Each structure stands twice: as C-alpha cells, then as structure tokens.
C-alpha cells in the first residue's frame, strides 16, 4: 500500500517506519529541509530504542523515503496520514495551526479514492471540520478517517507492532476496509480492530490518557497522605493492586507525570468540556494534583536544608520525563532545577539521553556529567527524578565516597528504606517514612 505521512515528529516517524517495515511504501513529508536531509542520512532527531535501526533498514530497502515535496508524496498515496503537532494553546485547548496548514497543502493533490487519516491528537469535531474543509478546497467529497495513536515513548515500536487494539473512526466502508487491511499484520493474535464514528475515536484518545493521568495523580495524593499518617505507600499499593478491579498499572508514586501527551490531553479534554457547559471537576483536580506533585522534592529539600540551602551543591539523576526517552517536555526535573538555581545552588545533572536537550534550555547554568557517579562529586545531596534502569543498583559505597553528605531525595522510590539505613544514607522518598 502506498502511504504519505505528513509530519516526521515522534508519532509520524514511528508510525511511518513501522508501516514500511510491514511492506508498505511510505513517504514521510516535512517542511524542515534540514531535518529531511538528516533523516536521509540515517540521523534520527529523537531517541527511541530500536527506531534508528528500523529507519535505516527500511530506507535501504526502498520502502521508506523522506521528502519536503508534498505533491509527489500525496498524489499516488492511497492513505495520507496527518501526524503533525497539536501543542497546547494558552487556554489549554489544542493549537491546530499546523494541522490546518497540512490540510491545505495536501488538498490539491489528493487522488479521488484516497483516504485522509488523522493521526494527530485533535479535539472532538476536528475530523468533521477537516471533511468540510477538504470539500471546500477540492469541490468534492474526500474521505477522512481518524486513527488515534497509543504509543508509549520508550516502547513505541513494540506498542505499534503488538497493539492492545486499533481504533479507527470512519464514515465509509472503503476507509474501514483500507485501514483493516493496513493493520491486519499487527492483529494476528486476535487483538481487536475497533471501528466507530470519528467523534468517538477522537474522544477515545483523550479519555484513555485522562484516565491514566488520573491513576497517577490519585496514587501520588495517597502517597502524600501516607507520609503524614506514617504509612508506607508501597504496602498500600500492594494492598490495592492485587484487587483485580484495580490492578498495578500506573500506581507507582513519584514526582508527577510529564511529556507531550498526558498534561496536554488532560487540559484539552477539560477545555472541550467547558465549551459544552460541563464543569470538568475531576480533570481539573488531576492537573492540579500533578502540578503540585512536581514540587514534592522541592519541599523535601528546602525543609531539610532550610536557610542553609543557598550555595549547596545538588546532584540530579534523571532529566527526561520518563526513562527510555530524551523528551523533557513538562519534565518534573525542570521544575526542581529552576527552583535550585533561584536559590543559588550549584546544580550538577546527569541523564543517559536527555542532557543535550537540557543543555539547549539551560546552557552554562548547569554542570553536565555523562556518568552518574561523576555528578555526585562533592554533592550535598542527590535528587532522583527519572527511574532509569542504571540508577536502580548503584555502588552505594562509591556514592558515599563521592558525596560531601550522604543525602538522597528519591522521587521514584528506587531504593528500600532499610537498604538506605544499612548504607548510612539520609533518605527521603515518596509516601514512605524518611530514613534520618
């Protein structure tokens, strides 16, 4: 099948590459000439495990191409995916300017039986608006489907190739048949192909992310309660997680969620609710709790050091909003960094993948280390923000030798309090009694 992928961001690049890997002819389009040239050279603009190898292999096989020429990519395509960014506007709504630009660029080149597929996360009603816009631009009916993505950063290729389900919103049997044929190779283990209206498909994406965000904010609020009442959130989590109605997924306390999806989608869904005169009380609470949770290490550090905090050296392990990515959008670590710099602290940071992105934002205001142990040299405390695997079993004796004071503020509960007591660390974590 011939496919045009408009947009080579995270979703577009992963989706286009994986579709090429199953035998389709995919042309990825972007307006950024420099980015296209790098992709043609095999230089991937994002960190996603396994993606670079997949891009190179399919490009060499001739199934995956990159171009800035929209016309040539779209003219012969049976499916044209729109995978451009929809960032948050100031009021929390989705900014669709890139989407409308993409719609206008493809309209003159669409084949009569082509299907436009909206992959971007868009507000409910956007599919219908694109349908009307294309009719006005072309003077004919153009088929528009919705196909929300459910890719986790750090596991996107596996998520695409082995999906829990595929959701499509369609108006015609032709669009449904094409998409079912396209996704057939990924559904051979009887995972469902869920066909619905475009409006329901658009909502499905937002509701899924809002519910997962709710679980995170809920367990974080309960963790804070555990600390006040001298409970242990890990015990409580086990106590509720074995209930089959609840489960363990997304019930790990920490310093809040970040990234390009959860914060943006919760706010966008709340904005949609307001537009139909429905007060989104739970969504607003989820966002409020998460924003507050990003300051939990700030509170612990400021309480511990008090007025002696200015001038201290604080090491930070983990800058990305989650492991296995270099994405720092709305990352909790940035909130902590901003606070420590305001307090006049010397801040030393390490992350396996996100250092370059942080360096672009902070420049020489931070000290950057490529090795985690090097970041601890002379540190008065270590703050952990991201649960990278290499942080889980460090050499604690070496950590003590390198640090000026053996103090850890663990925002991801990587270590057991008793373990920290045996290694003689002061240890503050989330939802558990501190080791002093």
CB count within 10 Å of CB 392 equals 10
pLDDT of residue 92: 86
Q: Is 121 annotated as a binding residue?
A: yes
What's the CA gap between 244 and 432, in Å, rounded?
25
pLDDT of residue 315: 98
Q: Is the dihedral of CA 66, 69, 71, 72 positive or negative?
A: negative
Do the beta carbons of residue 82 and residue 8 sit within 8 Å? Answer: no
Active site residue 261: yes
Average pLDDT, stretch 304-332?
97
Q: Is 300 annotated as a binding residue?
A: no
For 256-301, how does the pLDDT look when each residue is reduced to its tens digit (9 = 90+)?
999 989 999 999 999 999 999 999 999 999 999 999 999 999 999 9
What's the CA gap between 416 and 426, in Å, rounded?
12
Q: How confident is the model at residue 246 (pLDDT cuts 50, 70, 90)?
A: very high
pLDDT at 22 over 90: yes
Domains of the chain: 2-196 (3.40.50.720), 206-292 (1.10.1040.10), 294-428 (3.40.50.720)
| The pair of three-digit structure tokens given for residue 387, joined into one six-digit string | 């649960």
Q: Is 86 annotated as a binding residue?
A: yes
pLDDT of residue 91: 86
What's the CA gap between 42 and 19, in Å, rounded?
17
Pick from 283, 315, 120, 289: nearest CA to 221: 289
Q: How confident is the model at residue 11 (pLDDT cuts 50, 70, 90)?
A: very high
β-sheet bridge partners, residue 314: 347, 381
Q: Is 150 annotated as a binding residue?
A: yes
Average pLDDT, stretch 161-188?
97
Q: Is 152 annotated as a binding residue?
A: yes
CB count within 10 Å of CB 300 equals 20
If DSSP codes are grouped into helix, strand and coil, which group holds residue 281?
helix
Average pLDDT, stretch 36-41?
95
| The pair of three-digit structure tokens given for residue 180, joined into one six-digit string | 């079912």
Q: What is the mean pLDDT of the chain?
A: 97
What's the CA gap between 80 and 4, in Å, rounded?
5
Q: Is 275 annotated as a binding residue?
A: no
Helical ranges in 7-143 per DSSP H = 10-21, 33-40, 51-60, 70-75, 97-106, 126-138
The residue from 18, 28, 226, 261 that is catalytic is 261
For 67-114, how does the pLDDT look when each residue is reduced to its tens digit (9 = 90+)?
999 999 999 999 999 999 999 888 888 999 999 999 999 999 999 999
**CA-based end-to-end distance of the chain:** 62
What's the CA gap between 391 and 324, in Å, rounded?
13
pLDDT at 155 over 90: yes
């Amino acid at each position: 099948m011939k496919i045009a992928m408009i947009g080579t961001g995270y979703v577009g690049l992963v989706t286009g590459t994986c579709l090429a890997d199953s035998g389709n002819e995919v042309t990825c389009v972007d307006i950024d000439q420099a980015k296209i040239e790098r992709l043609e050279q095999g230089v991937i603009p994002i960190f996603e495990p396994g993606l670079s190898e997949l891009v190179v292999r399919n490009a060499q096989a001739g199934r995956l191409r990159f171009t800035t020429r929209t016309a040539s990519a779209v003219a012969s395509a049976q499916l044209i995916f729109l995978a451009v960014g929809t960032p948050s506007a100031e009021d929390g709504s989705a900014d669709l300017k890139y989407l409308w630009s993409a719609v206008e660029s493809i309209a003159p080149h669409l084949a009569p039986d082509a299907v436009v597929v909206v992959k971007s996360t868009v507000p409910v009603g956007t599919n219908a608006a694109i349908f009307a816009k294309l009719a006005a631009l072309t003077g004919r009916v153009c088929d528009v489907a919705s196909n929300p993505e459910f890719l986790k950063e750090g596991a996107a290729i596996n998520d695409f190739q082995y999906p829990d389900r595929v959701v499509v919103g369609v108006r015609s049997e032709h669009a449904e048949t094409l998409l079912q044929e396209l996704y057939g190779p990924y559904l051979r283990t009887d995972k469902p192909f869920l066909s619905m209206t475009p409006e329901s498909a658009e909502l499905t994406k937002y509701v899924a992310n809002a519910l997962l965000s709710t679980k995170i904010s809920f367990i974080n609020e309960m963790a804070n309660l555990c600390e006040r009442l001298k409970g242990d959130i890990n015990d409580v989590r086990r106590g509720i997680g074995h209930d089959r109605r609840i489960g363990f997924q997304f019930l790990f306390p920490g310093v809040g969620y970040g990234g390009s999806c959860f914060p943006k989608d919760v706010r966008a869904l709340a904005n949609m609710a307001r537009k139909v005169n429905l007060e989104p009380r739970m969504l607003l609470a989820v966002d409020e709790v998460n924003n507050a949770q990003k300051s939990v290490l700030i509170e612990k550090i400021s309480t511990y050091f008090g007025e002696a905090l200015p001038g201290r050296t604080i090491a930070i392990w983990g800058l990305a909003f989650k492991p296995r990515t270099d994405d720092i959008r709305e990352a909790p670590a940035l909130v902590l960094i901003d606070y420590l710099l305001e307090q006049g602290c010397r801040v030393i940071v390490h992350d396996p993948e996100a250092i370059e992105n942080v360096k672009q934002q902070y420049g020489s205001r931070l000290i950057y280390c490529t090795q985690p142990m090097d970041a601890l040299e002379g540190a008065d405390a270590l703050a952990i923000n991201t649960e990278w695997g290499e942080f889980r079993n460090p050499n604690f004796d070496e950590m003590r030798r390198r640090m000026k004071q053996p103090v850890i503020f663990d925002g991801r509960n990587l270590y057991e309090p008793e373990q920290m007591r045996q290694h003689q660390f002061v240890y503050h974590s989330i939802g558990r009694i501190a080791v002093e």
